Structure 1
Amino acid sequence: MFRNLDAGGKEQRFKLIEQAADIGQVADYCQLLGVSRSGYYAYLKRKNNDRDAEAKRLIHTVYKRYEGRYGYRQIQLFLWQDEGVWMNHKKVLRLMQKLGLQASIRRKRRFNMTYQAAERVADNLLKRNFTAEKPSQKWVTDVTQYRIGERWLYLSAVKDLFNNEIVAYQLSERNNNELVLQTFAKAFAKQKDVTGLIVHSDQGFQYTSHAYHDMLPKVGAQISMSRRGNCLDNASMESFFSHLKTEGLYPYDIRNLAEAQRRIEKYISFYNRRRPQRKLNKLTPVEYRRQFQA
């Protein structure tokens, strides 16, 4: 067992002690082989650090690939999707802390909300149940805004709660009824049969308009609305807009509307096709839908 000890120097002796440690005392083996216990434990520490070297490299690579926007939980999913490596989330957190990597800080923006008397309202059929058993069973929708200088860009989007996919969206410099109607024209062009579909929104003026309330019943869809001033009733859509802005807009120095539009379009494609979600069994929205339809 102890032949050819000089071939690998102290490193070889430490390896032998490690192999034999379960059948004897470390101190006895260290004395027998002429090495110190502190040296042996330093060897074990170096070995463990080396064991994490590849994991650190992968984490750093993925973190940089997505421009430092994500924390350890989303990095864990990207490691699985991009590198085929499933790593415990606690280990990802520990190694990110060692590497000094952290997610970009989310900037919170507050908007003053004013409410006008609604033309037509509907009951809250969704009741914060943001799950669906099949595609086009429940959609949520809303309009958000992004400011560039003195100008505004408005985004209307529709999200399928089955797989959190953005099924349609429309951009405009005008926040009007036409913006929402064009969004749904795109959505219905992709999904012909929406009989029984629940479409949930807040009580924004576009969703209480006569045009909106005439459009959805014609295709067999049901209208659902949040209670006035209660953003949690449409939390799933609010969550998407938050991710869009903090991951796809705020990190960049956007100077004009054209660039903002390009960033939004790029992010929505990324969100649907490249961003895995824990709730979707670590798949992207498109992958999850295709798996269901297979």
Structure 2
Amino acid sequence: MYSFRRLEYQIILELSEYFPVIILCRVTGIPRSSFYNWKRSLFEPSKRARDFAGNVMLFMEYHKRYPSHGYRWLNAKIRLDTGIAHSDPYAYKCCRAAGIKSKTKHYRYKKPGNPYRLFPNLLIAGLPAYAPMQYIASDMTAFYFKGTYYELTLYMDLWNNEIVSHALSSRRGDRMTYINGLEGLIRNKDKETEWQTILHTDQGAVYASKKYNDILKLNHMAHSMSRAGTPTDNAAMEAINGWLKAELFTDFHVTGKASVEQEIEEYIKFFHEKRPAYALGYMTPKQYREAYREDSYSKKKRKPLKE
């Protein structure tokens, strides 16, 4: 109804060059005062309308920089960068007015496969992570850049979605990306905790190899595996792999001026420090870690001294 009435106002405005407004309003059944109020708001918009237009422009600017994301993430990113807070319905309204839609692929759910006999799925119970380095997920993703094939192995802490280790190679099927990434994970684990860490992977040949699992045993790490043909068992890593390639090539517009290794390093730094995550309440992994440390420090200060 509102859009139809607005259309009538526009028609009267266009025809007012040829016919008196009083006659046009009488024919359409619209009060002259309503038409003139609409005309005044059109050429002298209210503060609310001006603020809305400014916010629409802001969302368009951020969408241009990060086209792979939708209105919720853009809203969180604007709040993180500028401190301007909007509700999600208002952000949706702004993005709808600007015609903003995320430029990402949507993946279909796949039916779970059969369990793997070598290592059980230790995360299938859905137990939450309460501390760093409690549950680590790993996966390998591949991509082409300027005709060169690359394989990137990631190790991510499921507690705060932080990429704690990674390794890149331009050799197809390079087993050392898994081993090098695992060695980086072990170094970070030794700095963080002495407790056992659960490492969750798919059923890849390297993950199932004796050498790889011997390293895990020596470093007090338990191995957990997804069911065969069930990427949803490692959904966190599957999502990160998809976002990484979408953001790296859609948002960051990799040009090749810097090395691929440097581009990956810069993206991971952005991922840790400047990318809000829905799973963390739209905090960055760095913010989540800092909040955890502050809370732990406060609890230690409140702890009574033993007599």
TM-score normalised by length of structure 1: 0.76
Instruction: Provide closer, same or farther for how the CA distance between residues 258 and 194 of structure 1 changes in structure 2, counting only shifts above 3 A.
Output: farther
1:218 offset after TM fit, Å? 1.2
Residues 106-160 of structure 1: per-residue CA shift (max 9 Å, x gap) = 388xxxxxxxxx9x93111111627411111000001111123653211011000
CA distance in 1, matches of 2:228, 2:152: 21
Unaligned 5+ residue runs, structure 1?
1-34, 109-117
Q: 8 Å contact 1:158–1:167 — kept in the other structure?
A: yes
Match of 2:137 among 134, 137, 140: 140
1:196 offset after TM fit, Å? 1.7
Instruction: Specify the alignment match of 1:198 in structure 2.
Output: 198
Q: 8 Å contact 1:273–1:287 — kept in the other structure?
A: yes
1:184 offset after TM fit, Å? 1.3
1:255 offset after TM fit, Å? 7.4
1:69 offset after TM fit, Å? 2.9
Instruction: Specify the alignment match of 1:79 in structure 2.
Output: 78
CA distance in 2, matches of 1:194, 1:179: 25
Residue 206 of structure 1: SS of its match in structure 2? helix
1:273 offset after TM fit, Å? 1.1
Instruction: Specify the alignment match of 2:19 in structure 1.
Output: none
Instruction: Specify the alignment match of 1:68 in structure 2.
Output: 67
Instruction: Specify the alignment match of 2:244 in structure 1.
Output: 244
Q: 8 Å contact 1:249–1:263 — kept in the other structure?
A: no
Residue 52 of structure 1: SS of its match in structure 2? helix
Instruction: Specify the alignment match of 2:94 in structure 1.
Output: 95
Q: 8 Å contact 1:194–1:219 — kept in the other structure?
A: no
CA distance in 1, matches of 2:59, 2:34: 33
Match of 2:36 among 35, 39, 49: 39
Q: 8 Å contact 1:130–1:236 — kept in the other structure?
A: no
Instruction: Specify the alignment match of 2:13 in structure 1.
Output: none
Map 1:206-285 onto structure 2 (within 5 A): 206-249=206-249, 259-285=259-285
Q: 8 Å contact 2:66–2:247 — kept in the other structure?
A: no
Instruction: Provide closer, same or farther for how the CA distance between residues 130 and 206 of structure 1 changes in structure 2, counting only shifts above 3 A.
Output: farther
Residues 213-253 of structure 1: per-residue CA shift (max 9 Å, x gap) = 10111111111001112111111101000000111135677
Larger deviation: 84-93 or 155-164?
84-93
1:73 offset after TM fit, Å? 1.1
Q: 8 Å contact 1:158–1:183 — kept in the other structure?
A: yes
Residue 160 of structure 1 pairs with residue 157 of structure 2 = yes
Instruction: Provide closer, same or farther for how the CA distance between residues 269 and 207 of structure 1 changes in structure 2, counting only shifts above 3 A.
Output: same
Larger deviation: 80-89 or 252-261?
252-261
Q: 8 Å contact 1:130–1:161 — kept in the other structure?
A: no
Aligned residues: 249
CA distance in 2, matches of 1:144, 1:207: 14
1:201 offset after TM fit, Å? 0.2
TM-score normalised by length of structure 2: 0.73
Instruction: Specify the alignment match of 1:186 in structure 2.
Output: 184
Q: Give the percent of matched residue pairs that are identical in Structure 1 and Structure 2.
A: 27
Instruction: Provide closer, same or farther for how the CA distance between residues 284 and 254 of structure 1 changes in structure 2, counting only shifts above 3 A.
Output: closer
RMSD: 2.6
Instruction: Provide closer, same or farther for how the CA distance between residues 57 and 252 of structure 1 changes in structure 2, counting only shifts above 3 A.
Output: closer
Unaligned 5+ residue runs, structure 2?
1-31, 108-115, 295-307
CA distance in 2, matches of 1:176, 1:128: 33
Counterpart amino acid of residue 261 in structure 2: Q
Instruction: Provide closer, same or farther for how the CA distance between residues 83 and 103 of structure 1 changes in structure 2, counting only shifts above 3 A.
Output: same
Residues 39-66 of structure 1: per-residue CA shift (max 9 Å, x gap) = 23554573242231332232233223x2
Larger deviation: 261-270 or 238-247?
261-270
CA distance in 2, matches of 1:130, 1:277: 20
Instruction: Provide closer, same or farther for how the CA distance between residues 249 and 139 of structure 1 changes in structure 2, counting only shifts above 3 A.
Output: same
Instruction: Provide closer, same or farther for how the CA distance between residues 131 and 209 of structure 1 changes in structure 2, counting only shifts above 3 A.
Output: same
CA distance in 1, matches of 2:219, 2:56: 52
